[in-house]
Structures are given as C-alpha cells and as structure tokens.
C-alpha cells in the first residue's frame, strides 16, 4: 500500500477508545442519533450503525443494540447486538438518523437490562 493510500486509510478509521470513553461516545451517539463507525471483533472490521440502546445481555456482557447500515457482515440494514468488549474503537459521524429503525423494540431479546435508549 502506498503511503498516500495508508494516510487516507488512517484518516477514515475510527480512533481507539478506552472503555469509559467508548461508553461516553455511544451515549452521546444515542442522545444525538448519530451514526457511528465501529472497529469490531478480532478482525477489527469496520461497521456502520445507528445506535439505539446500551444495556446488559443475558450473559452479563455490556452490549450495544444497533441497526447496522454498512460495513462488514451486512447486506442492507439489520439489527445487531455488539458486545462492547469486542469494540476496539468508535467514532461519531456527522450523519444522523431521524427516528428508530424498522422493527425497533427497546425490550427486544438480547438485552436483559437497558441502561440507555432512544
């Protein structure tokens, strides 16, 4: 990869976050209905999503419920539960979303306890 391509790629990658900063950014994104860019999983794949709720899963893991709009492992939009321990970085986009995505259910299976939601 050329230096120019590497520099451009670095600018488009979400910056790293410590756990407290990550949660604070996700709360800000939920409150402002900002699309987020996540680096997720061991492959650090880029995911674009509309965050709708933060909570605790049935397994006791801090979890983000979001409508994934793009990036890895998506064909169109879809609901995803993101384990916060697997989110390496988060960045708020200037893009916002109007209201809940199709089929939003704050009490959907997967979140046993909701801590923050739109």
Domain that holds residue 55: 3-96+104-117
d(CA 69, CA 109): 20
d(CA 70, CA 89): 16
What domain count does the chain have?
1
pLDDT band at 92 (very low <50, low <70, confident <90, very high): very high
> In CATH, what number is assigned to the domain containing residue 80?
2.30.30
pTM of the model: 0.82
Residue 117 token pair: 């939601």
d(CA 74, CA 80): 10
Residue 58 token pair: 């049935």
Region 85-96: what's the mean pLDDT? 94
pLDDT band at 3 (very low <50, low <70, confident <90, very high): very low
Q: State the Cα torsion 86-92-97-98 to the nearest 10°.
A: 120
pLDDT band at 14 (very low <50, low <70, confident <90, very high): low
Question: Mean pLDDT over all residues of the chain?
Answer: 85
């Amino acid at each position: 990869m050329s230096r120019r391509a590497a520099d451009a790629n670095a600018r488009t990658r979400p910056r790293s976050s410590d756990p407290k900063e990550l949660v604070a950014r996700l709360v800000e994104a939920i409150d402002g209905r900002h699309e987020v860019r996540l680096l997720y999983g061991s492959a650090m794949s880029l995911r674009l999503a509309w965050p709708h709720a933060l909570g605790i899963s049935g397994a006791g893991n801090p979890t983000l419920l979001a409508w994934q709009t793009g990036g890895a492992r998506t064909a169109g939009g879809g609901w995803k539960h993101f384990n916060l321990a697997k989110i390496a970085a988060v960045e708020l986009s200037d893009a916002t979303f109007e209201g809940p995505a199709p089929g939003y259910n704050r009490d959907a299976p997967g979140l046993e306890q909701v801590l923050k939601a739109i």
